[in-house]
């Protein structure tokens, strides 16, 4: 076990991070119903241990590529709740000036390269970010998140092959929540053991219980260490489950309520909380304080987003091309 994982402070921080994401997204769902947030909104609820665990293994100079289900990754990477919420409100104070919305979060400061709403579209990009690092001799890692649905896309296979062939420092993080919209893994893949696919490209792979944050931290640190040491790409599968609908418009006809309820028993937040309680590392007062802190942060983010301004329509054509002189 990594030493940090034995420190109660650190263990509480992991809980805090997961709770932050959960509460943030619960608010997002409310704000969606209140029509403050529009467009597509994909919640990460149930999967928080993945982003929180994997980000632990990254350094500030590393890069992150994610998907349209990326609020958790953005928060765990250090993008402020304010910038994220303002983005979803479509305000110019948002991290992308309100141009990207929920599915397209970018942030140069934390090297967060999207937010990509094309399934599989981020993988080639991640290979390129890593290629530049390798050619420049920088020992950085690019963490690339995608769902198991992306594995059916050609871009997954092209990217795995190229990354392995050129030994690129990419940490491929497959968040296997068993469904791509309404298509169960077994209904879309002839081989459902995803590690076998990575192995076919000679990429070391590891499957981890994505509902157990400590297990994810450990697996991610092992994987990132291997990648950073020049071992080429690594494939980490986080076995997880989304508790909510695919997006806000999904009647969930494709799975049984019972199945969802079964998975909820493994809620990554509840189980981690129970672990910390059993170890005597949290008590009711700590939890209350944590909840209050998180609530205050999110309320502040919402107030910030509400008070935000709209980008002037006159700026519509800005950034189609770079503004010369600003580079």
Partner 1 sequence: MSGAVKTTCREALRAAIREAMQRDSRVFLMGEDVGEYGGCFAVSKGLLDEFGPERIRDTPLSESVFVGAGIGAAMNGLRPIVEVMTVNFSLLALDQILNNAATILHMSGGQFNVPLVIRMATGGGRQLAAQHSHSLEGWYAHIPGIKVLTPGTIEDFRGMLWTALEDPDPVLIFENALLYNLEGELAEDAGPVDISKARVLRSGTSLSLFSYGGSIPKTLEAAVQLESRGIDPEVVDLRTLRPLDTATIIDSVRRTHRAVIVDEGWRSGSISAEIMARIMEESFYELDAPVARVCTAEVPLPYAKQMEDAALPRVETIIEAAMNVVGGNG
Ligand X SMILES: Cc1ncc(C[n+]2csc(CCOP(=O)(O)OP(=O)(O)O)c2C)c(N)n1
User: Which residues bind to partner 1, rule: CB under 8 A?
Assistant: 63, 94-100, 104, 106-108, 113-114, 116, 118, 121, 123-133, 135-136, 142, 154-155, 158-159, 161-162, 165, 318-324, 327
Q: Is 282 exposed, middle or buried (0-12, 13-18, 19+ CB in 10 A)?
A: buried
Residue (of 10, 3, 5) closest to 215 by Cα position: 5
Contact 236, 222 (CB under 8 A): no
Q: How far is the CB of 53 from ligand X (least distance, A)?
A: 16
Q: How far is the CB of 171 from partner 1 (least distance, A)?
A: 14
Residue 117 near ligand X by CB under 6 A: yes
How far is the C-alpha of 106 from the C-alpha of 113, rounded, in Å?
Answer: 5
Q: Which is nearer to ligand X, 119 or 248 (CB)?
A: 119
Residue 102 near ligand X by CB under 6 A: no
Contact 17, 71 (CB under 8 A): no
Q: How far is the CB of 203 from partner 1 (least distance, A)?
A: 14
Residue 181 near ligand X by CB under 6 A: yes
Contact 40, 68 (CB under 8 A): yes
Q: Which is nearer to ligand X, 160 or 180 (CB)?
A: 180
How far is the C-alpha of 257 from the C-alpha of 254, rounded, in Å?
Answer: 10
How far is the C-alpha of 137 from the C-alpha of 169, rounded, in Å?
Answer: 11
Q: Which is nearer to ligand X, 66 or 302 (CB)?
A: 66
Q: How far is the CB of 102 from partner 1 (least distance, A)?
A: 12
Among the listed residues 17, 93, 148, 267, the single contact to ligand X using CB under 6 A: 148
How far is the C-alpha of 1 from the C-alpha of 314, rounded, in Å?
Answer: 55
Residue 144 near ligand X by CB under 6 A: no
Among the listed residues 41, 86, 105, 119, the single contact to ligand X using CB under 6 A: 119
How far is the C-alpha of 297 from the C-alpha of 292, rounded, in Å?
Answer: 9
Residue (of 116, 86, 118, 92) closest to 103 by Cα position: 116
Q: How far is the CB of 291 from partner 1 (least distance, A)?
A: 33
Q: Which is nearer to partner 1, 2 or 161 (CB)?
A: 161
- Report what 303 binds from partner 1, ligand X, none; CB cut-off 5-8 Å by kind: none
Q: How far is the CB of 33 from ligand X (least distance, A)?
A: 21
Residue 110 near ligand X by CB under 6 A: no
Q: How far is the CB of 39 from partner 1 (least distance, A)?
A: 13
Give how far the C-alpha of residue 209 lies from the chain's centroid of Cα atoms, to the nearest Å: 16
Contact 102, 42 (CB under 8 A): yes
Q: Which is nearer to ligand X, 249 or 321 (CB)?
A: 249
Q: Which is nearer to partner 1, 108 or 278 (CB)?
A: 108
Q: How would DSSP label each residue in 106-117?
A: EETTTTEE----
- Report what 63 binds from ligand X, partner 1, none; CB cut-off 5-8 Å by kind: partner 1
């Amino acid at each position: 076990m990594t030493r940090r994982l034995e420190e109660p402070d650190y263990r509480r921080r992991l809980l805090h991070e997961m709770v932050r994401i959960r509460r943030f997204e619960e608010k997002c769902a409310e704000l969606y119903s209140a029509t403050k947030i529009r467009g597509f909104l994909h919640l990460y609820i149930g999967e928080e241990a993945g982003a929180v665990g994997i980000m632990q293994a990254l350094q500030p100079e590393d890069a992150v590529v994610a998907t349209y289900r990326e609020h958790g990754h953005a928060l765990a990477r250090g993008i402020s709740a304010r910038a994220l919420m303002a983005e979803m409100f479509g305000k110019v104070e948002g991290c992308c000036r309100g141009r990207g919305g929920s599915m397209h979060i970018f942030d140069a400061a934390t090297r967060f390269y999207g937010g990509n709403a094309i399934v599989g579209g981020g993988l080639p990009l991640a290979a390129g970010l890593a290629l530049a690092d390798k050619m420049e001799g920088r020992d950085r890692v690019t963490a690339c998140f995608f769902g198991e649905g992306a594995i059916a896309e050609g871009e997954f296979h092209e990217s795995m092959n190229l990354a392995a062939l050129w030994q690129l420092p990419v940490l491929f993080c497959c968040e296997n929540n068993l469904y791509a919209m309404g298509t169960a893994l077994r209904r879309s893949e002839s081989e459902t053991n995803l590690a076998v696919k990575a192995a076919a490209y000679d990429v070391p792979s590891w499957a981890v219980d994505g509902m157990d944050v400590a297990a994810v931290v450990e697996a991610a640190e092992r994987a990132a260490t291997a990648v950073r040491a020049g071992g080429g790409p690594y494939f980490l599968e986080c076995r997880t489950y989304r508790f909510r609908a695919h997006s806000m418009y999904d009647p969930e006809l494709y799975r049984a309520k019972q199945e969802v309820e079964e998975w909820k028993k493994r809620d990554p937040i509840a189980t981690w909380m129970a672990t910390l309680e059993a170890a005597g590392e949290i008590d009711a007062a700590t939890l209350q304080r944590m909840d209050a802190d998180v609530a205050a942060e999110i309320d502040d983010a919402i107030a910030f987003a509400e008070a935000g301004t709209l980008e002037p329509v006159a700026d519509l054509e800005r950034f189609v091309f770079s503004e010369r002189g600003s580079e």
